[in-house]
Structure 1
């Protein structure tokens, strides 16, 4: 089965642009109750997934960076400690199982890497649970 059936479209997913500030990223994570969020560039292409850990490591490794100065750091300046793989929209569900083991969600892109949305780990697990039970 193609993963497009399970796609939570971009319009329904919180994401952040790579040009946004670190402060914006933290606020978005807090607002959405997420621990990680997809990052897209100015062309709408998936770049990375930014995690709470990435933000903490940036704060720890940047002398003088405080909550008050976070608006001076852009998301693209923050190192991602783990790279979350994305998948092509025409991928099959079987391709998702390995990724779901390590990622809360899997970003989905088109042939040009334009971000289309995500597939949540919960949906992948439910799919496999139903198919194993049948």
Structure 2
């Protein structure tokens, strides 16, 4: 099976530019109830994934030296990403994608030029296989 079957395309994905601020990230994450969000640069390339843990560590670290408003203006490029969300190529085999998605809520998908083209959500994979098992059990 081709992993493109599970792809949520870029135009349907909520993501941030790495030049965004901590305030913008917090607003987007809160509004959409995200625990992590992909970062896509101005050339359309995948630049990592920001997690709520990354933001909390940055707040804790920087509040020792600056006030809250200053910390909120910090660029995401200045935030250390503590967890690496590994992307997969759109040409990856299903097995490779499954290996990666066991440790991530979503898998960023990139093309040969490392451009971000979308994500595959873990819940979509689980739903697909749950329905497949259900159908197979009905046939017995």
Q: TM-score, normalised by structure 2?
A: 0.88
RMSD over equivalenced CA pairs, Å: 1.5
In the TM superposition, what whole-angstrom CA distance separates every residue of 1:23-59 from its partner, at most 9, and x where no partner exists? 1111110111100000011211001110000000011
Structure exhibiting the larger radius of gyration computed from Cα positions: 2
Where structure 1 has 5 or more consecutive residues not aligned to the other structure, the ranges are none
Partner residue, 1:30: 30
Rounded Cα–Cα distance in structure 1 between residues aligned with 2:54 and 2:38: 13
Partner residue, 1:80: 81
State the Cα distance separating 1:96 from its structure 2 match.
Answer: 1.7
Partner residue, 1:98: 99
State the Cα distance separating 1:132 from its structure 2 match.
Answer: 4.8
In the TM superposition, what whole-angstrom CA distance separates every residue of 1:77-100 from its partner, at most 9, and x where no partner exists? 100111010010111222222211
Residue pairs, 1:55-66, within 5 angstroms: 55-62=55-62, 63-66=64-67
> Cα gap change, 1:58/1:131 in structure 2, threshold over 3 Å: closer, same or farther?
same
Partner residue, 2:124: 123
Number of positions where the alignment pairs a residue of Structure 1 with one of Structure 2: 134
Rounded Cα–Cα distance in structure 2 between residues aligned with 1:107 and 1:41: 14
Partner residue, 1:9: 9
Q: 2:102 aligns to what SS in structure 1? A: helix
Rounded Cα–Cα distance in structure 1 between residues aligned with 2:44 and 2:10: 10
CA contact (8 A) 1:35 1:52 kept: yes
Q: TM-score, normalised by structure 1?
A: 0.91
> Cα gap change, 1:103/1:65 in structure 2, threshold over 3 Å: closer, same or farther?
farther
> Cα gap change, 1:110/1:94 in structure 2, threshold over 3 Å: closer, same or farther?
same
Q: Which stretches of structure 1, 4 residues or more, deviate above 6 A after TM superposition? A: none
Mean alpha-carbon deviation: is it higher for 60-69 or for 30-39? 60-69
CA contact (8 A) 1:96 1:124 kept: no
